[in-house]
């Protein structure tokens, strides 16, 4: 069994250290208050058993809390007092500087928490270590100087989560929709070099990848681009290739019929589209941004975003090539085709691509085939999104964060970002962004109320005001930011075309950007209050009531401050483990609520709940509609490559019932024996490990595992809490 030290490193669990600590406190107590040695050994055995029952490596603090409870339960109050005093004294010493030790453990790759903090970062490489080191300094400064102490304490206790504190010291925002159209059509500047409008599709793709890398290095969240912004350059290349072909014929004295000329031009064009898409696929996968990871980029595929039928056909050509190449995958270091994490793909289900006989149904069938093997694309329903977003259809900013519907266009603010492609009267989404996220732990509110619904709402109100103060910190940190800090974003078109030295403040109001109130653990919260599940009528109604109340708060803040607060279904990754540990510390292990190393993401039905795919999506659609700032639902499926009709059935259900959803399959490979199937999770000495079912390989460096954990696909493995959640998932088909 392992234990996690305070600096995040992992070491062997030695019960004798518990015994020694209790004996020291025992010897310091009054003679009459001391306990016998048998009691000390019994307490040690009890704590050791409790740690083993967790199914994960406990932290030092958790073990010490268990020791305190054992001493109190044995009536050894004076011994407990000595033990607590010693802990407090040591804590004061550590407060002098906790940052150095954590940074040193990062450099030596001994920090287990950092290793699994982000499933798409390799913690061994220098760029990731540099980013983590800077993050530790940022967190230290933020906690000691920049943030109010009540916000810091609530964050550390798992009452709320102040996201991305490791970037808070800098004036950086979360995620955005890149205005690729403006940058390609009207030019941009990258590291001081003027980039003019490209003269071919392949060049446009190359510039797009450079923009993606630059944007990723100047923010900390996800970004999205639209293939519709690349589609006009297909015609540019078509005309260019046609001219070149005509010139070749004239120079060589050859004659060619119009039909032959068109066929040859289209064949050459297809080859260029393939090369351009390969550029995006391979550069995004191989790019390493300044924060030590591939860009968190989403590629959006919406046929009706094209501006003409001809452009729509060209867009369809690009989408087809993207899906074909993603289906193939990328080669790992052994030369085997595997599932890449990026780019994330989103495909919009529309009236003309749903059924056999529809003009673009062939793309939907290809999307289903790709999803069955590579887990992407995910799906947006044009029908449902129009109902929920006032007639507009647009992509999320990364994995699930959605902008609020455009209101600055309608209220007369106009082209606030000075975008080169702004069209008066037309709603604008590209170039907009999210300021940041603070998430409330709903489970903690539920358990703190102890079954009293009136007390629940009292605590709920208090926590909402705490979240509001924390979100204002996010907003106020961005106020006064000058455009010079990230020229690609604020001056050269990705988000705006502001002047040098101009502050970005006007982009923080009137609905141009959003700021997100996140929430987590609705399932466990409701269960703690009335003993019902979200899949039961009483549980569903209470869950929906909580969601409506959350929206009331964001609406109130928005009306008062002209800032677009929006409710966001938080994609917990490492935080799910942190929240679970904090809940166990505060409330103990409660069956069905705190007995896991994770809590449930946002409004999701619990991963262990037996339910079929269609019923799950039907229920979750009600909650997703109340999560306008971002949400995604999923169904867990087995290998569906030989049952594409079932995949298509789910996709049609998505179109009619829910705005945004995905199918999770498995896509793994063992580099030792060549096994191509699902790598299993097994428990080994109190720790969950990945094991090849064919050869028993347990070396994570010699296997490729891809799982969707919070919207994005992860390929660098996960902490113990998230790993347990993955292990516990049941199939919905």
Give tens-digit pLDDT for 569-613. Answer: 998 878 898 999 999 999 999 999 999 999 999 999 999 999 999
Give tens-digit pLDDT for 260-284. Answer: 999 999 999 999 999 999 999 988 8
Give tens-digit pLDDT for 413-442. Answer: 999 999 999 999 999 999 999 999 999 999
Q: Are 85 and 2 within one domain?
A: yes
Q: What's the pLDDT band for 109 if we cut at 50, 70, 90?
A: low
- Given a contact cutoff of 8 angstroms between Cβ atoms, the answer to whether 227 and 297 are in contact is no
Residue 496 lies in a domain: no
Judged by DSSP in three states, 92 sits in: helix
Domain boundary residue, one of 126, 142, 158:
142
- For residue 636, which phi and psi values (nearest 5 degrees)? -90, 125
Single out the residue of 434, 620, 457, 428 nearest to residue 518, CA to CA: 434
Among this protein's residues, is 136 annotated catalytic?
no
Q: What's the pLDDT band for 478 if we cut at 50, 70, 90?
A: very high
Q: Are 105 and 43 within one domain?
A: no
Among this protein's residues, is 401 annotated catalytic?
yes
Please identify which of the residues 205, 399, 692, 710 carries the catalytic annotation: 399
Domain boundary residue, one of 58, 81, 96:
96
Q: Are 25 and 85 within one domain?
A: yes
Please identify which of the residues 158, 493, 711, 721 carries the catalytic annotation: 711
Please identify which of the residues 133, 165, 175, 205 carries the catalytic annotation: 175
Cα angle 306, 307, 308 (rounded to 5 degrees) comes to: 95
Q: Are 22 and 65 within one domain?
A: yes
Q: Which two tokens stand for residue 64?
A: 């010490």
Q: Are 105 and 86 within one domain?
A: no
Residue 32 lies in a domain: yes
Rg for the chain (alpha carbons), in Å?
27
CB-side exposure of 516: number of CA atoms within 13 Å? 33
Please identify which of the residues 434, 513, 667, 719 carries the catalytic annotation: 434
Residue bearing the bigger pLDDT, 719 or 198 = 198
Q: Is the pLDDT of residue 114 over 60?
A: no
Q: Are 105 and 46 within one domain?
A: no
Q: Are 123 and 43 within one domain?
A: no
DSSP assignment string, 536-580: SHHHHHHHHHHHHHHHHHHHHHHHHHS-EEEEEE---STHHHHHH
Please identify which of the residues 117, 573, 620, 636 carries the catalytic annotation: 573
Among this protein's residues, is 174 annotated catalytic?
yes
Kind plus residue range of the DSSP H or E element containing 64: helix 60-73
Q: Is the pLDDT of residue 90 over 70?
A: no
Residue 125 lies in a domain: yes
Say how far apart CA 1 and CA 146 lie, in whole Å.
38
Q: Indicate the average pLDDT of the chain.
A: 91
Please identify which of the residues 397, 547, 640, 651 carries the catalytic annotation: 397
Please identify which of the residues 300, 553, 568, 655 carries the catalytic annotation: 568
Residue 416 lies in a domain: no
Q: Is the pLDDT of residue 126 over 80?
A: no
Among this protein's residues, is 260 annotated catalytic?
no
Q: Are 33 and 59 within one domain?
A: yes
What range does the domain containing 116 cover?
98-142
- Amino acid 104: pLDDT: 62
Q: Are 90 and 106 within one domain?
A: no
Judged by DSSP in three states, 707 sits in: strand
Highest mean pLDDT out of 108-122, 523-537, 568-582:
523-537
- Amino acid 213: pLDDT: 92
Domain boundary residue, one of 37, 69, 96:
96
Q: Are 44 and 104 within one domain?
A: no
Among this protein's residues, is 711 annotated catalytic?
yes
Task: Give how many domains the chain has, as a whole number.
Answer: 2
Q: Is the pLDDT of residue 98 over 60?
A: no
Residue bearing the bigger pLDDT, 57 or 560 = 560
Among this protein's residues, is 525 annotated catalytic?
no
Give tens-digit pLDDT for 311-369. Answer: 999 999 999 999 999 999 999 888 989 988 889 999 999 999 999 999 999 999 999 99
Judged by DSSP in three states, 19 sits in: helix
Q: Are 90 and 79 within one domain?
A: yes
Residue 390 lies in a domain: no
Give tens-digit pLDDT for 384-418. Answer: 999 999 999 999 998 899 999 999 999 889 999 99
Q: Is the pLDDT of residue 288 over 80?
A: no
Judged by DSSP in three states, 499 sits in: coil
Say how far apart CA 549 and CA 467 lie, in whole Å.
14
Say how far apart CA 327 and CA 337 lie, in whole Å.
10
- Amino acid 289: pLDDT: 60
Residue 280 lies in a domain: no
Give tens-digit pLDDT for 622-650. Answer: 999 999 999 999 999 999 999 999 999 99
Q: Give the residue-averaged pLDDT of 14-21.
A: 91
DSSP assignment string, 586-650: HH---TTTTSSS----TTPPPTT----HHHHHHHHHHHHTT-TTB--EEEE----TT-HHHHHHH
Residue 6 lies in a domain: yes
- Amino acid 301: pLDDT: 98
Percent of the chain with pLDDT over 90: 73
Q: Are 42 and 70 within one domain?
A: yes
Residue 56 lies in a domain: yes
Among this protein's residues, is 568 annotated catalytic?
yes
Please identify which of the residues 26, 174, 291, 566 carries the catalytic annotation: 174
């Amino acid at each position: 069994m392992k234990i996690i030290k305070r600096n995040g490193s992992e070491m062997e669990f030695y019960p004798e250290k518990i015994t020694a600590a209790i004996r020291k406190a025992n010897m310091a107590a009054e003679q009459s208050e001391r306990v016998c040695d048998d009691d000390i050994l019994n307490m040690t055995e009890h704590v050791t058993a409790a740690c083993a029952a967790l199914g994960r490596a406990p932290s030092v603090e958790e073990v010490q809390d268990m020791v305190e409870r054992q001493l109190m339960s044995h009536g050894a109050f004076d011994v407990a007092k000595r033990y607590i005093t010693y802990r407090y004294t040591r804590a004061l010493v550590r407060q002098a500087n906790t940052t150095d030790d954590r940074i040193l453990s990062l450099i030596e790759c001994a920090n287990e928490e950092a290793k699994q903090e982000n499933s798409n970062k390799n913690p061994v490489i220098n760029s990731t270590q540099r980013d983590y080191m800077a993050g530790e300094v940022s967190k230290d400064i933020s906690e000691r100087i920049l943030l109010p102490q009540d916000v810091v304490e609530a964050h550390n206790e798992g009452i709320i989560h102040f996201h991305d504190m490791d970037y808070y010291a800098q004036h950086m925002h979360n995620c955005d929709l890149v205005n690729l159209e403006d940058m390609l059509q009207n030019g941009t500047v990258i590291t001081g070099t003027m980039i003019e409008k490209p003269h071919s599709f392949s060049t446009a793709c190359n510039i797009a990848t450079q923009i993606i890398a630059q944007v990723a290095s100047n923010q900390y969240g996800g970004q999205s681009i639209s293939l519709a912004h690349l589609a006009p350059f297909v015609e540019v290349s078509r005309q260019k290739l046609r001219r070149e072909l005509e010139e070749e014929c004239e120079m060589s004295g050859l004659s060619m019929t119009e039909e032959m000329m068109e066929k040859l031009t289209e064949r050459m064009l297809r080859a260029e589209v393939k090369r351009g898409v390969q550029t995006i696929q391979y550069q995004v996968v191989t790019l390493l941004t300044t924060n030590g990871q591939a860009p968190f980029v989403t590629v959006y595929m919406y046929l009706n975003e094209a501006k003409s039928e001809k452009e729509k056909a060209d867009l369809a050509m690009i989408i087809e090539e993207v899906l074909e190449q993603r289906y193939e995958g990328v080669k790992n270091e052994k030369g085997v085709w595997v599932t890449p994490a990026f780019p994330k793909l989103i495909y919009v289900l529309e009236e003309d691509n749903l059924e056999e006989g529809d003009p673009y149904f062939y793309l939907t069938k290809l999307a289903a085939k790709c999803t069955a093997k590579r887990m992407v694309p995910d799906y947006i329903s044009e029908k449902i999104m129009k109902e929920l977003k006032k007639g507009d259809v647009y992509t999320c900013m990364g994995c699930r964060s959605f902008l609020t519907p455009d209101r600055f266009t309608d209220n007369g603010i106009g082209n606030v970002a000075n975008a080169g492609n702004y069209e008066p009267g037309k709603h604008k989404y590209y170039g907009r962004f999210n300021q940041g996220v603070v998430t409330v732990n709903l489970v903690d509110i539920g358990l703190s109320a102890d079954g009293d619904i009136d007390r629940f709402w009292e605590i709920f109100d208090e926590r909402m005001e705490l979240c509001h103060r924390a979100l204002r910190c996010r907003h106020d940190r961005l106020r006064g930011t000058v455009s010079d800090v990230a020229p690609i974003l604020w001056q050269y078109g990705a988000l705006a075309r502001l002047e040098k030295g101009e502050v970005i403040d006007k982009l923080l109001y009137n609905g141009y950007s959003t700021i997100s109130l996140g929430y987590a653990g609705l399932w466990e919260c409701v269960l703690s209050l009335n003993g019902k599940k979200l899949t039961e009528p009483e549980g569903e109604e209470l869950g929906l009531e909580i969601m409506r109340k959350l929206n009331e708060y964001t609406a109130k803040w928005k009306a008062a401050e002209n800032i677009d607060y929006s409710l966001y279904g938080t994609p917990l990754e490492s935080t799910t483990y942190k929240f679970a540990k904090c809940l166990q510390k505060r409330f103990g292990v409660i069956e069905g609520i705190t007995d896991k190393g994770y809590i449930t993401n946002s409004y999701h039905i619990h991963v262990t709940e037996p339910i079929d795919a269609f019923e799950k999506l039907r229920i979750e659609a009600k909650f997703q509609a109340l999560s306008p700032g971002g949400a995604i639902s999923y169904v867990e499926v087995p290998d569906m490559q030989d049952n594409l009709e079932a995949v298509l059935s789910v996709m049609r259900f998505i179109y009619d019932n829910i705005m945004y959803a995905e199918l999770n399959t498995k896509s793994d490979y063992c580099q030792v024996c060549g096994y191509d199937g699902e790598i299993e999770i097994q428990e080994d000495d109190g720790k969950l490990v990945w094991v090849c079912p064919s050869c028993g390989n347990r070396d994570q460096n010699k296997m490729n595992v891809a799982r969707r954990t919070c919207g994005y696909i992860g390929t660098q493995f996960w902490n113990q809490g998230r790993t347990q959640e993955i292990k516990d998932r049941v199939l919905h088909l």
